[in-house]
Amino acid sequence: MKQICYEPIGLLYTPFSQPSGGPIQPCGAGEALGRAELRPELAPALEGLEGFSHLILLYHCHRAAAFKPKVKPFLDRNEHGLFATRAPSRPNPLGLSVVELVVMEGNVLHLKGVDMLDQSPLIDLKPYVPKFDCPPGEVRTGWLSERAQDASGKKADERFS
């Protein structure tokens, strides 16, 4: 397989400088404020984004531990296959978060509900559109079906750093 290389489009700045103690998902971040600073030459690519309330951020988990095929996620006591979790210790440590867009100022996006580590490299962003991003019908959530509601109260520990 051919190698794929991406160049960050900017950096994410958040109040979370250490993996331990931060929220494990955006729903646990509450009112945590942060910002995305895109490379200045990308500012024209943001045109029209101000009309969206939420964004999908794709970022590099720059402080994640090495890949492990089985992990014990924050919301369970049992091990699961990595791809059945959202643990950051992945072959390609990409993070995905849906955050609120508070305001845009040039190439800077002010955000609410950030859960990523400070200075995470931003790979891409997309507007969140419920009609596109929420599948119709019943959605199964596997082992998380009884645990997802606990994410807002959980904080990260050192297990994935």
Condensed to tens digits (0 to 9), the pLDDT of residues 102-147 reads 999 999 999 999 999 999 999 999 999 999 988 888 888 787 777 6
- Helix H or strand E encompassing 131: helix 130-133
Whole-angstrom distance, CA of residue 127 vs CA of residue 6? 20
Helix (H, G, I), strand (E, B) or coil at 45: helix
State mean pLDDT over 9-34: 84
pLDDT value of residue 149 = 65
pLDDT value of residue 21 = 75
> pTM for this structure?
0.87
pLDDT band per the 50, 70, 90 thresholds, residue 10: very high
pLDDT at 25 over 80: no
Amino acid making up residue 106: G
Q: What is the dihedral of CA 41, 46, 50, 52, to 10 degrees?
A: -150
Longest Cα pair distance anywhere in the chain, in angstroms? Answer: 46
Q: Where are the domains of the chain?
A: 10-150
Q: Write the CB contacts of 53 (distance below 8 Å, at least 6 apart in sequence).
A: 100, 101, 128
CATH class of the region 10-150 = mainly beta
Q: Write the CA distances from 130 to 53, 56, 109, 127, integer angstroms.
A: 11, 11, 21, 10
pLDDT value of residue 161 = 58
Whole-angstrom distance, CA of residue 153 vs CA of residue 161? 20
